[in-house]
Structure 1
Amino acid sequence: MSQGKQNHTGHLFTVEILIEEATNGLAMEKLLHLLNAQTVKDYQILKGIELGKLIEMNTTNKESTPPSYTGKKAVTSPPPATPAPTMTSTAPSGAADHIITQLEGFKANNTLIRLTVIKGQGIKLNLPCRILNYDSSNQNVAVYHVDEKKVYSFKLNEIDDYVAF
Structure 2
Amino acid sequence: MEKQFTHIESGRAHMVDVSEKREVSRLARAAGDIILSEETVEKIRTGNVEKGNVFATARVAAILAIKKTPEIIPMCHQIPITAIDVDFGIGKGMISVEVKVRTVGKTGVEMEALTGVSAALLTIWDMVKSAEKDESGNYPNTSIQNIRVLEKIKG
When the two structures are superposed, what TM-score results if normalisation uses the length of structure 1?
A: 0.23
When the two structures are superposed, what TM-score results if normalisation uses the length of structure 2?
A: 0.24
Structure number with the higher helix fraction is 2
Higher CA-based Rg: 1
Question: Per chain length, whose mean CA-contact separation is higher, i.e. which structure has more relative contact order (CA < 8 Å, sep 6+)?
Answer: 2
Structure number with the higher strand fraction is 2
